[in-house]
Structure 1
Amino acid sequence: MRRIRLKKRLTQEQVAERSETTPVWISVCEKGTRNLSVRSLSVIAYALGVPMAALLDTKDYPETDPTQRIYSKQTAKRVAKS
């Protein structure tokens, strides 16, 4: 899920808005600390604009550069000021 989000250059806030959830819920899902239902996978896949199978198959969305960060608008403003 995180790989796809980063490849599409989306923030957790954007995915949360599209899926009508919260950024905290998206974060928990990305960390894998929660077992997701099929419905939850469907909602996330829709928010990311990918088929549900893409959340399980990593060949189309390989590991991203770990130094790459996608910031929220608030964080981006703080980083830019630094």
Structure 2
Amino acid sequence: MINYLWLFAIAGGAALLGIALASGMIKQGGQGSPVAVAGAFVVAVGALGLGLYVASAPTAPMRAPDREGTQNRLPAAATTENSQPGK
């Protein structure tokens, strides 16, 4: 679920920017290059497609803490006071 929130925040913003650019070029008089307008729409669609791909990619597994504290013995465990620089 959180992946789709990031999809909306990142790719949605890029897609809205592409649509805004394209509509601005069209409203400016229509004399702009049709290639530029099509390019803005391609950027919008490409951003949404890439965002959907990233949102559907698997994420790293999370290991919940347990009573024995085994999560602190993993290679990427949280730091302790003794592992800080200068100690």
Q: Answer 1 or 2: higher relative contact order, Cα 8 Å, separation at least 6.
A: 1
In the superposition, the TM-score normalised over structure 1's length comes to 0.26
Larger radius of gyration: 2
In the superposition, the TM-score normalised over structure 2's length comes to 0.25
